[in-house]
A and B are shown apart, each in its own frame.
Chain A
Amino acid sequence: MTQEELLEIKADTSVDARGTSCPGPLLAAKKAIGTIDKGQIMEILSADEGTRNDIPKWCNKKGFECLGTLEESGFYKIYLKK
């Protein structure tokens, strides 16, 4: 997905894990993924650089679709579709 398309996305749920480092954001994402249905979109806010690379691997394993990452000032917004 292009950055423009990502900007248009309306997430069904948002996980703000900016306060934690690896593996905190992934743990938060794992907890939150149970609250959304298949096909819904989750947004993860993380200031951790490692998480940006970890989330696509997690998606890959779990069969979720990682839509992409937006870089904000000092943190990332990672989008995935369950």
Chain B
Amino acid sequence: MQQVTETQAVDFQKQIDALTAKVSTLEGMNQDQLSIAVVSGDFDKILAAMVISLGAAAMDTEVKLFFSFWALAALRDPKKSVAGKNFISKMFGIMLPKGKEKLKLSNMNMCGMGPRMIKSIMKKHGVLSLEEMFKQAGEFGIEITICEMSMDLMGIKKEELIDYPNMRFAGAVTFAGDMGESTSQLFI
């Protein structure tokens, strides 16, 4: 048998200490958290994002939603309007769906007949409406982060968004950070 010298033993100890430190950092890194980049503004995709979020929240998973680009239309409050927009912002405002009830289907929209049909089927099957899902999401502490850059691009102002308890405004870095500490990430 080869004798372990004292220097070797000290080396081993150092390596073990370094590994222990590394493992404990890694363990702290990933929380039970789901991050979703919600980019599409279609009724079906927003619905999917909300159903998955609520399912995860019911499993006690922390949920963080990052709303960007077309998805912002879903967060517009039809009862609110803002003055002082420039011409292009106004045009965007007219062309974008005003709120989640006005969203189109990604397929079979059929000039609005599709969404109407889906909504009536959902009601029949007892699926929560989008309105109700956002309400529940708020109750479960699901966090919505709104991409400030998209808001500028689409000319959407904070004042015309829905009232949601856990809403914040940030940029891509914030989402990248959230994603890094999440165990699962989705792009919808």
Chain A residues whose CB sits within 8 angstroms of the CB of B128 once the complex forms: 20-21, 24
Within 8 A of B (CB), among A1-31: 18-24, 26-27, 29-30
- B125 interface hit (Cβ, 8 Å): yes
Chain A residues whose CB sits within 8 angstroms of the CB of B58 once the complex forms: 23, 26-27, 29-30, 58
- B126 interface hit (Cβ, 8 Å): yes
A20's partner among B55, B60, B126, B140 (CB-CB below 8 A) is: B126
Give the CA-CA distance A9 to B138 in the complex, in Å: 35
Q: Tally B residues with Cβ within 8 Å of A.
A: 13
Taken residue by residue from 35 to 56, chain B's Cβ proximity to chain A (1 for < 8 Å, 0 otherwise) reads as 0000000000000000100110
Q: Chain A binding site: helix, strand, loop or mixed by DSSP?
A: helix
The minimal Cβ–Cβ distance linking B125 to chain A, given in whole angstroms, is 5
Total A-B residue contacts, Cβ distance less than 8 Å: 38
- Pair B59/A21 contact, Cβ less than 8 Å: no
Q: Tally A residues with Cβ within 8 Å of B.
A: 18
- A71 interface hit (Cβ, 8 Å): no
- Pair A22/B51 contact, Cβ less than 8 Å: yes
- Some 20 contacts from A to B, beta carbons below 8 A apart, are A20-B126, A20-B127, A20-B128, A21-B122, A21-B126, A21-B127, A22-B51, A22-B55, A23-B54, A24-B127, A26-B55, A26-B58, A27-B58, A27-B136, A27-B140, A47-B126, A57-B59, A58-B59, A61-B59, A62-B60
A-side residues, CB < 8 A to B, are 18-24, 26-27, 29-30, 47-48, 54, 57-58, 61-62
If A61-B60, A62-B60 touch, does A23 touch B126 (CB 8 Å cutoff)? no
Taken residue by residue from 121 to 135, chain B's Cβ proximity to chain A (1 for < 8 Å, 0 otherwise) reads as 010011110000000
- Pair B60/A23 contact, Cβ less than 8 Å: no
Chain B residues whose CB sits within 8 angstroms of the CB of A48 once the complex forms: 126
Given contacts A20-B128, A21-B122, A27-B58, 15 further A-B contacts (CB under 8 A): A20-B127, A21-B125, A21-B126, A21-B128, A22-B127, A23-B54, A23-B58, A24-B126, A26-B55, A27-B54, A27-B140, A29-B58, A48-B126, A54-B55, A57-B59
Taken residue by residue from 114 to 158, chain B's Cβ proximity to chain A (1 for < 8 Å, 0 otherwise) reads as 000000001001111000000010001000000000000000000
Chain B residues whose CB sits within 8 angstroms of the CB of A18 once the complex forms: 126
The minimal Cβ–Cβ distance linking A29 to chain B, given in whole angstroms, is 8
Question: Can you name the residue of chain B whose Cβ is closest to the Cβ of A26?
Answer: B58
